[in-house]
Amino acid sequence: MTETQGFVAGGLLLIALLVYIFWPEKVSASQLEKTRLEYLLERKEQLNENLRDLKFEFKAGKYPEEDFQVQRAQLENETARLKAEIEILQRA
């Protein structure tokens, strides 16, 4: 194989790779938008996980009492707001 053939083969491989990476998907199932309720339920689960992690790290001594109380209150307040909105959406 000559040097020119190597460059051509490499260029074709690069073009094929770029087309494969950036070609838009036509599968609609992977591009469906979430409903507001689905988003809120996922966010609520994330907040619950964050609260568990915060409690664990506080017990491990990584947070002072004041910081723990402030962060816990913020997470609990946001979770309460989400639960209220979830209830409203589930009734509708």
To the nearest 10°, the Cα dihedral for 61, 64, 66, 71? -60
CA distance 18 to 5: 20
Domain boundaries, the chain: 33-92
Per-residue pLDDT of the chain (92 residues; tens, 9 = 90+): 788 998 899 999 999 998 888 887 766 555 567 789 999 999 999 999 999 999 999 999 998 999 999 999 999 999 999 999 999 999 87
Q: What is the per-residue DSSP string for the chain?
A: --HHHHHHHHHHHHHHHHHHHHSPP--SGGGPPPPHHHHHHHHHHHHHHHHHHHHHHHHTT-S-HHHHHHHHHHHHHHHHHHHHHHHHHHH-
Tokens 């990476």 appear where?
21
- The length of the chain in residues reads 92
